[in-house]
Amino acid sequence: MRSKFSPSWKASVQPRKQRKYVKNAPLHIARRMLSAHLSKELRQKYGRRNVQLRKGDKVKIVRGSMKGRTGSVESINIKLRKVIVSGAEMIRKDGTKVKIPIDASNLIITELNLNDKKRAEALKK
């Protein structure tokens, strides 16, 4: 694999090359990597396993210290490849609340934000 990002690169068994591909990916490709699994009901309804996350989606956290909490997606940081969920907050010693960035792979989408007509049409296909 080249030192710069190469869209023609197919795959590798080596984890270091896989990590390098993800880390060096430009933002328009990194955005596609921010997808989460659908709940069983949504999976049956749409016939898909996963969907790209979008602001307003209701999600459930299934891994980490915030496991079991539900909330809506407040923002998505493409550079860091992290998602901010409204229910995941930590209280610091001085009493201030801090939102915890969560990896998209640790979330399950329970309700989709279908305000966008293009997204609704894409799910029907």
Digit-coded pLDDT (tens) for 52-66:
999 999 999 999 999
- Identify the CA nearest to 100 among candidates 66, 55, 68, 59: 66
The pLDDT of residue 10 is 78
**Domains defined along the chain, listed by start:** 1-33 (no CATH), 35-124 (2.30.30.30)
pLDDT at 3 over 80: no
**Mean pLDDT value of segment 64-78:** 95
Query: What pTM value is reported for the model?
Result: 0.87
Cross-strand partners of 60: 70, 108
In tens, the pLDDT along 85-118 reads: 998 999 999 999 999 999 999 999 999 999 999 9
CA–CA distances in Å: residue 24 to residues 30, 65, 69, 73, 118: 9, 28, 32, 25, 29
Bridge partners of 51? 36
